[in-house]
Structure 1
């Protein structure tokens, strides 16, 4: 039942900038692992596969938290939920900062993943407190500052880890998260719940969480499937059972977490397939390029320090930051299918090029920047296309599934790449053979290229 509520209180620029600063702080905390992953692997004695798991743990939590945060925001108000989510994020940052080993660091990353659910809550707040035109600008400010925070984290993580310690690269942004959360709490007025009868499909949430965890365990066990067939087979059976149970629960629930009828639309299921494939390619490059930078210069690598890696990755962070607005303009002028086809072609070409041409630093810098630009263009176009394919009441759930699919694609790409490097590690050393990197890039390029076959189905579904 919908309740009659008083008009929301208008907010000033200070409240919006507080949201933006909070987004920047969370973006910084989110991005510190990628440029320092080789350092973390050495200090915590992690294998490449364990490093891959560390790099995607936060995203898995985010995929689970996002739909829950939306439901709670409807029930209790966006600000109420955001402040509490940020308390969880701050706790995760503290755990990561103090972590003496990999299991504790993984726990910290799980808690930090709650930050992903806070972004939609920011958008809820600005839409409730601002007119349509001003809210669009405010959403752009918040989104841009999150990406800007990610760029800052990429740059600062290496110098802080080398100059102070890996502990401080988590602690400093966590302190910023606490301060900016207090600013939001003080400056942003409370927003009334939009609905009084909002319910959470807890069985669906629990089953989806179990599906994601089991899927990740299966991906990690896949390289050893021949050596441990019972374990891998058991995970596959468990995954199938969980998916079957989740489908049944969603079909019978009066308020399902996901309306499964959405998947009957070609424009939607093809969107998710394309998103998955593109994110596999993106994740592979995100994982493989820093590893290749880190390999000793005495071999085929460059012996780059964490600071150097952060600097080398900066162009790709800038490319990712401009890809969203660029994609929006391109979609409006040329259409989603044309933008997607171009983006996928650019990404595929860059991945194949990196597979066979990576003897100079600039090869990797340019290739990674092109991949980041193409990926951002494709994902933004995919979100726009997905939103246009459903009625207004289903926009939230349809686009949130793009986020979940993005996480799954990223997780699959990182885990497969980590497994390829582990399988290609030279006997008696911790250094993968150069051919392992070639194989990883080729696999990513092939998966990305296959998504071109789905674009025709996407176009037909929209026309229908």
Structure 2
């Protein structure tokens, strides 16, 4: 999709002086790896902090901490991709990092929960660094070393998987919610300075790329209106004027977006591409299996850190530091799933991986719901769930590659990325709506849920995984079996 003004790769990347590793290339790669790992670090911090956020702001809407970041990420990524094509990937990387710093500062200083959520919305920009870093590697590194550089940029060093849950626990236990977001602020600011000094601008441009701002407003507004109505319905009541008004507004904006997307040359999401059954089922399974499956972590934090005496038939009374063991198991499950896909995708096909992922997530979440009071069973079950998440995440790029021709893969990858990010936000809102419909009491400002709420929440995740697995079954037979695997966690280009 992108190229220089004449559509060719810059000659500077193929000269004899740049065919091998240099200290400068190593420095660029290290900075890009560290920047890409801001995403999991900030996500784990926010997810682990959910019980503390609920208590600090005395809210039953803590799930919006994750939802609003996913929502802005899903709408923002296609726009960032278009702007990066037009104005340069380093320039957009710097803007994204600056917006993330501003959001983290706002969340750290927030006097009220709405202000905190505005900060979290700004932090959703950080998700765009995944494909920006990947694209910078592709544009500025010599072809001979691009495969390795892309691989380590995507997967990182693996150290973060083990260390980030302990870091999150220590920060929250010792410095609270404010300390956690000040850490994100400092980390992002330091890496932004390093990026400004070390990373070169990409010479690749696409002069005919145009961002669809109207589509972003319509789609983002429609989803936000519906999710707000659903999440606040237990408090407002379904019969209050605000609830149906927001639902109608959301539906009207979504209908307007569909019409607008069908008549815009470069829409935010090219819905015309979804006429391909293989891509349609890939996008649906991506969102329902991977996107909704990731919401399990948010519920798990609430379960584990609620004291048993307050929670009744659930709750392990863990501190944030003690909860780190769950974070490590989840991270290792995702890594293992990615490795399995990387090793077996050529023989088995990515379709089988997506179906298996759906089964693992469905079985795992149901076990977490039924045995929610048994710590060891929940620990094993969440590992199973996140093994499924890892399988699904690594299978998605392979499914997209096999579903569409090469000249449509960038656009199609963007659709799949939006699907899984958007449905992660929708799923988080729905499961917390089900929990909030079963609040038993408030303990130090934080809600305590009835066990039935967890069963409903996990049941919805399992149903979505089943639906996504069925979508994957309808993919063409042996889809992805004869393509090169994209590997674990390859970012979808936007």
With the length of structure 1 as denominator, give the TM-score of the two structures. 0.92
1:30 to 37, 43, 60: 43
The residue number in structure 1 matching 2:104 is 93
**Aligned: 1:200 with 2:201:** no
SS in 1 for 2:206: coil
> Residues 161 and 253 (structure 1 numbering): CA distance in 2 closer, same or farther, change over 3 Å?
same
The offset of 1:20, in angstroms, is: 0.9
Deviations 1:219-258 (A, max 9, x none): 3245568633543333332223222222222222233333
> Residues 343 and 285 (structure 1 numbering): CA distance in 2 closer, same or farther, change over 3 Å?
same
297-306 or 57-66, which deviates more: 297-306
1:441 to 444, 454, 458: 458
Contact residue 293 and residue 385 of structure 2 kept, 8 A: yes
The offset of 1:147, in angstroms, is: 6.9
**Aligned: 1:227 with 2:238:** yes
Q: Distance in 2 between matches of 1:93 and 1:225?
A: 30
Contact residue 212 and residue 268 of structure 2 kept, 8 A: yes
SS in 1 for 2:269: coil
The residue number in structure 2 matching 1:334 is 348
The residue number in structure 1 matching 2:434 is 420
Deviations 1:312-362 (A, max 9, x none): 322102222332232232322201221122221122111221221233222
SS in 2 for 1:192: coil
**Aligned: 1:404 with 2:413:** no
Q: Distance in 2 between matches of 1:406 and 1:329?
A: 23
The residue number in structure 2 matching 1:191 is 202
- Mind listing any 5+ residue stretches in structure 2 that lack a counterpart? 19-23, 481-494
**Aligned: 1:375 with 2:393:** no
With the length of structure 2 as denominator, give the TM-score of the two structures. 0.87
SS in 1 for 2:321: helix
The residue number in structure 1 matching 2:255 is 244
> Residues 258 and 40 (structure 1 numbering): CA distance in 2 closer, same or farther, change over 3 Å?
closer
Q: Distance in 1 between matches of 2:94 and 2:114?
A: 27
Q: Distance in 2 between matches of 1:148 and 1:99?
A: 31
Q: Distance in 1 between matches of 2:158 and 2:83?
A: 25
SS in 2 for 1:114: helix
The residue number in structure 2 matching 1:315 is 329
Contact residue 25 and residue 180 of structure 1 kept, 8 A: no
- Mind listing any 5+ residue stretches in structure 1 that lack a counterpart? none
Deviations 1:367-414 (A, max 9, x none): 111111101211321231112212223212211211211123212222
Deviations 1:91-126 (A, max 9, x none): 111112222221121111111111111211111110
**Aligned: 1:109 with 2:120:** yes
SS in 1 for 2:49: helix
The residue number in structure 1 matching 2:317 is 303
Contact residue 25 and residue 149 of structure 1 kept, 8 A: no
The residue number in structure 1 matching 2:483 is none
SS in 1 for 2:475: helix
Q: Distance in 1 between matches of 2:291 and 2:139?
A: 36
143-152 or 430-439, which deviates more: 143-152
2:11 to 7, 10, 20: 7
Within a 5 Å distance, the mapping from 1:10-89 to structure 2 comes to 10=18, 12-47=25-60, 50-89=61-100
Q: Distance in 2 between matches of 1:285 and 1:109?
A: 20
SS in 2 for 1:12: helix
The residue number in structure 1 matching 2:139 is 128
Backbone CA RMSD of aligned residues: 2.4
Q: Distance in 2 between matches of 1:221 and 1:2?
A: 49
Q: Distance in 2 between matches of 1:87 and 1:244?
A: 34
The residue number in structure 1 matching 2:21 is none
Q: Distance in 2 between matches of 1:182 and 1:405?
A: 32
Contact residue 97 and residue 188 of structure 2 kept, 8 A: yes
Q: Distance in 2 between matches of 1:436 and 1:254?
A: 45
Contact residue 4 and residue 204 of structure 2 kept, 8 A: no
Q: Distance in 2 between matches of 1:106 and 1:258?
A: 26
Contact residue 139 and residue 204 of structure 2 kept, 8 A: no
Contact residue 89 and residue 135 of structure 2 kept, 8 A: yes
SS in 2 for 1:227: coil
The structure where helix makes up a greater share of residues is 1
